Structure 1
Amino acid sequence: MKINENTLLEGHGVVLVPYNVNHVPRYHEWMKSPELQQLTASEPLTLDQEYDMQKSWREDDDKCTFIILDKQRWADPSVEEEQCMVGDVNIFLTDPTDPSLAELEIMIAEPSYRGKGIGKEVTRMMMCYGVTKLGVRKFQAKIGLENQVSITMFKKLHFQEVSQCPVFKEVTLELTVDESVRTKLLDDAAHMKERDYRQTCSSRHELLSQ
């Protein structure tokens, strides 16, 4: 999606940045993991296919993605951005007749970053972005039945289970964004700062200390 190609979102412990070409090799290494393939219901791709996928994420109007970075590491300009990568978060606009319906996905690919509340912070940030920038009014999350950690996290964020699909071994959770949900989302993400990505890259250690 073009809308976020120069958008950086800064949270407490993470920074969300556009999925760029330089991120592809590390992303490709992540997705060789059978565990991540299972958790994300993904098939392994060649490196060339991964570059094509990155391009589609950038160009297609129905996909919005950010790469999750460790904020503390990224604030050190001596550390390459690719070495700060933790995972990714995505919004799919799944219904051409209803652009206010979005499917939400999050992947914490680096095992050492799991169980630290990062997933919850990133999900809230992405939901806030979806509501305020994309006009999302209903979120869906489709999660493998064995992925109890993610199911529990989304339920803590007040998603409700609406269906299970035994064939695909997944559960669908939903959250409708009414006025009370919107208010809470904005409150929870009040600390989030939106910055110009390219400008911040050139002086990240200065800006992120402000």
Structure 2
Amino acid sequence: MRINENTLLEGKNVLLVPYNVEHVPRYHVWMSNVELQQLTASEPLSLEQEYDMQRSWREDDDKCTFIVLDKQKWAEPAVPEEQCMLGDVNVFLTDPDDRTLAEVEVMIAEPSYRGRGLGKEVVQMMMTYAVTRLEVRKFEVKIGLDNTVSIGLFKKLGFNELSMSEVFREVTLGMNVNAAKRSLLLGNTDFMKELEYATSRDSRH
């Protein structure tokens, strides 16, 4: 989705930036990890396929993705952006007849960043962006039954169980963003700043 191709979202501990070509090699290393493949229900791709996937994320109008960066590392001019990467977050507009419904995914790929509350910050920032910029009003998330950490995260954020599949070993959680939940979400992310990506990168030097 091109709407966010020049957008940087600044949080307390993280930055969300567009998924660009220079991010692909690090992303490919992540997705070669068997544990991450299982947690994200993903199949391994070749590097060439990963570049194709990046183009799809950039160009398709039903997908929006951000790469998650370590804000503190990124502020150091000597550190390349690829070395600041710690995960990604996505929304899919899953129903062509209902553009207000989106499926959300988050991945904290670097083990050293897990268990620090970053997943919550990232998801809330992405949901705020989706609500305010993409006019999303309903969220769903599909999580493997063994991924109890992610299930717990989304339930704490107010998602409720919609269905469970023993066959696919996954649970579907959902949230309708009514006026009260929208107000709560925006209040919980009042720290977030939306900046121009290119300008922000230059300004740290």
What TM-score bracket applies, with the shorter chain setting the length?
over 0.9
* TM-superposition CA deviations, 1:84-129 (whole Å, max 9, x none): 0000000000000000000000000000000000000000000000
Give the match for residue 135 of structure 1: 135
1:24 aligns with 2:24: yes
The aligned residue for residue 61 of structure 1 is 61
- Tell me, yes or no, if structure 1 residue 37 matches structure 2 residue 40: no
CA distance in 2, matches of 1:104, 1:74: 25
Q: Counterparts in 2 of 1:177-196, with a 5 A limit?
A: 177-196=177-196
TM-score by length of 2: 0.99
Q: TM-score, with normalisation over the residues of structure 1?
A: 0.97
Q: Does 1:200 align with 2:191?
A: no
Q: Which runs of 5+ in 2 are unaligned?
A: none
- Tell me which stretches of 4 or more aligned residues in structure 1 moved more than 3 Å: none
2:93 corresponds to which residue?
A: 93
Q: Which whole-Å CA distance do the structure 2 matches of 1:168 and 1:50 have between them? A: 25
SS of residue in 1 equivalent to 2:53: helix
Amino acid at match of 1:30: W
Amino acid at match of 2:9: L
SS of 1:77 mapped into structure 2: coil
Could you tell me which residue of structure 2 aligns to residue 71 of structure 1? 71
Deviation per residue, 1:146-177 (Å, 9 max, x gap): 00000000000010001001111100000000
Q: Does 1:154 align with 2:154?
A: yes
Report deviation, 1:195.
0.3
CA distance in 2, matches of 1:170, 1:59: 29
- Residue 208 of structure 1 is matched in structure 2 by none
Distance in 2, Cα, partners of 1:204 & 1:164: 46
**Matched AA of 2:10:** E
Identity of aligned residues (%): 68
User: What is the letter of the counterpart of residue 170 of structure 1?
Assistant: E
**Aligned partners of 2:77 and 2:136: how far apart in 1?**
35
Q: 2:18 & 2:202 partners in 1: Cα distance?
A: 15
Work out the CA distance in 1 between the residues paired with 2:194 and 2:24: 23
For structure 1, the residue ranges without an aligned partner over 5 or more in a row are 206-210
Cα distance in 2 for residues equivalent to 1:115 and 1:143: 18
- 1:204 CA displacement: 2.4
1:13 aligns with 13
- Alignment of 1:112 onto 2:131: no
Amino acid corresponding to residue 96 of structure 1 in structure 2? P
The structural deviation recorded for 1:17 is: 0.2
